[in-house]
Amino acid sequence: MDIPTVHSQGSTHQKLWQAVIDTAIAEWARGPLQHKSKAEYFLFRDEDDFPFVCRSAGLNPEAVRESLWAIRAQAASASNTNPA
């Protein structure tokens, strides 16, 4: 699975929040189960902190989620076509 990273652009403040999003994506993709579950909730269902963090990072929360949903769908499709 290709894991996107947020490009470090903008102010120091924005870079900090971009790092928070990068960390959540990394934990969702390959972290231990407990971290993976918390990251998945934050990235896909949180309606308070996630939009705040995205906006603080200089990102559009809806656009970030759309990208994550596309990655999730692609990963699910790949796992369904690859026999175990």
Q: Tens digit of pLDDT for each residue in 24-54?
A: 999 999 999 999 999 999 999 999 999 999 9
Predicted confidence at residue 75, as pLDDT, reads 85
Higher-confidence residue of 40 and 79: namely: 40
Quote the tokens at residue 36: 């993976």
CA–CA separation, 45 and 5 (whole Å): 19
pTM for the structure as a whole: 0.79
Asked if 14 contacts 56 with a C-beta cutoff of 8 angstroms, the reply is yes
Nearest to 64 by CA among 9, 30, 18, 29: 18
At 8 the pLDDT is 54
Find out whether 6 and 57 touch, Cβ atoms under 8 Å.
Answer: yes
Q: Is the pLDDT of residue 1 over 60?
A: no
57: three-class secondary structure by DSSP: coil
pLDDT digits (tens, 9 = 90+) for 5-32: 555 568 999 999 999 999 999 999 999 9
